[in-house]
Amino acid sequence: MARTQDYGIGEYTYPRGWFMVADAAELKDKPLAVRFFGQEFALYRGKSGKVVLLDAFCPHMGTHLARNDSSYVVRDGQIEGDSIRCPYHAWRFGPDGKCNDIPYSKAPIPKAACVRSWKVVESLGAIFVWHDPEGGEPEWDAPSLPQWNDPQWVRWKFDHLGSIACHQQEVIDNIADCSHLGPVHGETVKFYRNEFKGHLASQIQGGGHRTLVTPDGLQPILTTDTTYHGPGFLLSHMMGMGESVIFIGHTAVDDGVIKVWHALLVKSASKVATAEDVTAARAYQEASRLAFAQDFDVWANKRPATSILQVPGDGPFHKARIWYRQFYNPRARKQEFLKQVEGVQHRVVGMPSRLEEAETAA
């Protein structure tokens, strides 16, 4: 297992950005204990519907706010309004992380009786946190998709791929990985390019595909326009037998361990998706999950590529790694990395960069 330091990415162990921390469907009446960025958190939905993410350990005596099943505080319901009670002595903390009730003490509540409350957003059926080693405000918007509220599109349900001992750098490499598309996914790549702009890293490519085929087994040209929105998740517009958007999110649990989710939003043929469209969309998501599982299989079992033995015909791994460094270093240094990768279409030796180019060559 390799750590951030082994890749020489930057001074921070965990990057700046929006990260998925839970599937919104996991948030029930009980708070959820989650672990990311080497830290424990308590995640819960207040009675108003507001989602709150707090540092897990109570300032009184260090009890985990969300890892307890037996205390009567927990059995009676820990969540009051948008506040949460600690299982041990029932101190209550508001969504701002400040203690707002100590049931047995009339004295003023000490200022130090607070935990950190994190900036979270509920969007696309998930909970995202803004993580920032510098403690700054979000530099770009939390994820959203206009299709999410369009009745013609069938909303996804997340596939939970679980945690693997693989550094997130290896997942990010995929955005620049032209030469794995054939061997891993059975794709006949016809065109390929990468572009970087600010917090966005894009891969535009297309070709035939052996996994995502039509029911008659034919291979339509599948084009994907994939963008990492910061270091934590990608959205990929996929055009093939239909139109869909893939979500892949990965969040560091510890240094060298990530948790991964996949989902697919599918456009149906009907103006308002029918039950049949939902069934078809679920089947298509499963095909997409299987294609993604082909990558996952490699990541779960490889040794770390702290350096890459690059040859002509490989994608621009090195450029993607430079782009990625902006998130592991102070914002003030961002341009240092961006000026090395922005404003150019990164092509692959021997590969057309656009479909028209591929067709002219054929």
**Residues within the interface to Fe ion (CB under 5 A):** 295
- Name the minimum Å distance from CB 131 to ligand FES: 25
Q: Which stretch binds ligand FES (CB under 6 A): 53-61, 159-167, 228-236, 354-362?
A: 53-61
SS3 196: strand
Selected from 12, 88, 213, 304, the binder of ligand FES by CB under 6 A is: 88
Q: Which does 295 bind (CB under 5 to 8 A by kind): Fe ion, ligand FES, none?
A: Fe ion
Largest separation between any pair of C-alpha atoms in the chain: 82
Rounded Cα distance between 166 and 1, Å, is 7
Selected from 89, 119, 289, 318, the binder of ligand FES by CB under 6 A is: 89
| 5 half-sphere exposure, CB direction, 13 A CA radius | 2
- Please tell me whether residue 60 binds ligand FES under the rule CB under 6 A: yes
Could you tell me which of 170, 206, 169 has the C-alpha nearest to residue 185? 206
- Please tell me whether residue 86 binds ligand FES under the rule CB under 6 A: yes
Burial of 4 (0-12, 13-18, 19+ CB in 10 A): buried
Q: Which does 91 bind (CB under 5 to 8 A by kind): ligand FES, Fe ion, none?
A: ligand FES
- Please tell me whether residue 54 binds ligand FES under the rule CB under 6 A: no
- Please tell me whether residue 91 binds ligand FES under the rule CB under 6 A: yes
- Please tell me whether residue 63 binds ligand FES under the rule CB under 6 A: yes
Residue nearer to ligand FES on the CB measure, 115 or 266: 115
Residues whose CB is less than 8 angstroms from the CB of residue 269 and which lie 6 or more positions away in sequence, other chains included = 242, 277
Residue nearer to Fe ion on the CB measure, 155 or 209: 209
Q: Which stretch binds ligand FES (CB under 6 A): 81-89, 194-202, 238-246, 346-354?
A: 81-89
Could you tell me which of 361, 324, 359, 360 has the C-alpha nearest to residue 341? 324
Q: Which does 67 bind (CB under 5 to 8 A by kind): ligand FES, Fe ion, none?
A: none
Burial of 75 (0-12, 13-18, 19+ CB in 10 A): exposed
- Under a CB-based contact definition with an 8 Å cutoff, are residues 74 and 89 in contact? no
Residue nearer to ligand FES on the CB measure, 61 or 308: 61
**What token pair was written down for 257?**
């361990």
Q: Which does 55 bind (CB under 5 to 8 A by kind): Fe ion, ligand FES, none?
A: none
Rounded Cα distance between 317 and 307, Å, is 10
Q: 39 forms bridges with which residues in the sheet? A: 36
- Please tell me whether residue 58 binds ligand FES under the rule CB under 6 A: yes
Size of the site for ligand FES (CB under 6 A): 8
- Please tell me whether residue 64 binds ligand FES under the rule CB under 6 A: no
- Rounded to 5 degrees, φ, ψ at 15 are -80, 170
Task: Using CB under 6 A, list all residues that contact ligand FES.
Answer: 58, 60-61, 63, 86, 88-89, 91
